Amino acid sequence: MVLVYSDEKKLTLELLHKAHDLAKEQQKKTIAVCIGHEADAQDFLAHGADVAVVVQTPLKEFKAEEYATILHHLIKEHSNETVLIGSNKNGKELAGRLAAQLQAGCIMDCTNVYLKDKKLTTERMVYSGNAIAVEQFSSHPQIITIPPKVFDPLPKNEHHKGEVVKKTIDAGQSASKILKVQEMKTEGINVEDAEIIVSCGRGFKKKEDITLVSQLADVLKGRTVGCSRPIAADLKWLSEDHWIGLSGHKVKPKLYVACGISGQIQHIAGMRDSGVIVAINKDPEALIFKSADYGIVGDLYQVLPKLTNAIKDKMG
């Protein structure tokens, strides 16, 4: 069996595609797990699951300890050999804990998953994007987490047959409890979906100057502003949904413009798969130029207004 779980529905659908392919190749079945969200079960079947297990639980929010116990039960029961988990923060903490409970191997953030010599094989970025590790499991069960947007969901097929199974599982009770869940300040930006991103870094002297970036983003169709870590994490000029890099969001727009960003490896790790990369930096030695297709060496305060106007003219 290939079992799929994520606390994000969209991610579950993406993983189901891979699960479906892996299962087919090995004549196995695909199980999608819904914890709480019963309504999603039919969609999971229509997107490739053979079985959708609906776990009824009094838990209102994701909790790693209890959710790991739930998946542990299911995996034992179905002799699941491969477990695909959506790689977001909850998914990763769930996968690690589950791996411990099952005494299983676990590989995080896989961007490629396939069978080689009949063994489950994965690829993932390591050393901040300097290399790709190819890893292979030598035992079962095997746990893999996969980030968003690595795979596309299968097209919806209402005729795909499958069954919905309801289950009540005693998830136990951890010694910890959730006291509150607060929305964090965000601007509702989705950099992962953006086609064009204009990003700012420490080269900007004050928060107000970021309008230079948003004006350029506006004339380009993408309209999306990104930033390096210090702008979101230290200066807090922009909310964390703009943050691009190893510990931020991974993006692959068709055009990425980096303004006043030095190009440290941890930033590059988040945008290296972009189509065309443009850098604007006053330091001709800045690392960012090594990762760029086009660059302008110059003061962004002079370059950006001119570039914005020139693009506006060009695009009419």
* AA letter at 60: K
* Residue (84 or 286) nearer to ligand FAD, CB: 286
Question: Crossing angle for the helix pair 89-102 and 64-78, nearest 10 degrees?
Answer: 50
Cα–Cα distance list, 259 to 6, 121, 217 (Å): 35, 38, 12
Cβ partners under 8 Å of residue 206, min gap 6 = none
- Among 130, 167, 162, 148, smallest CA distance to 34 is for 167
**Are the beta carbons of 113 and 15 closer than 8 angstroms?**
no
Q: Kindly state whether residue 263 participates in binding another protein, applying the rule CB under 8 A.
A: no
Site for ligand FAD in 218-247 (CB under 6 A): 228-230, 244-247
The entry of another protein, ligand FAD, none that residue 282 binds, CB within 5 to 8 Å by partner kind: ligand FAD
**Binding of another protein by 251 (CB under 8 A):** no
Burial of 119 (0-12, 13-18, 19+ CB in 10 A): exposed
**Does 296 sit near another protein (CB under 8 A)?**
yes
| Binding at 173: pick from another protein, ligand FAD, none (beta carbon under 5-8 Å per type) | none
Instruction: Please give the structure tokens belonging to residue 298.
Output: 């110059």
Tell me if 261 sits within 8 A of 200, measured CB to CB: yes
Span 156-195, contacts to another protein by CB under 8 A: 174-184, 186
Given the complex with another protein, which of 153 and 298 has the nearer CB atom? 298
Structure-token match 């190893």, residue found:
246
201 binds, among another protein, ligand FAD, none (CB under 5 to 8 A by kind): ligand FAD
CB of 194 to ligand FAD, least distance (A): 16
Residues between 266 and 285 with contacts to another protein, criterion CB under 8 A = 266, 272, 275-278, 284
Which residue has its beta carbon closest to ligand FAD?
245
Q: Does 147 bind ligand FAD (CB under 6 A)?
A: no
Query: Which residues in this chain contact ligand FAD in the complex, by CB under 6 A?
Result: 201-203, 228-230, 244-248, 260-262, 264, 266-267, 270, 281-283, 286, 299-301
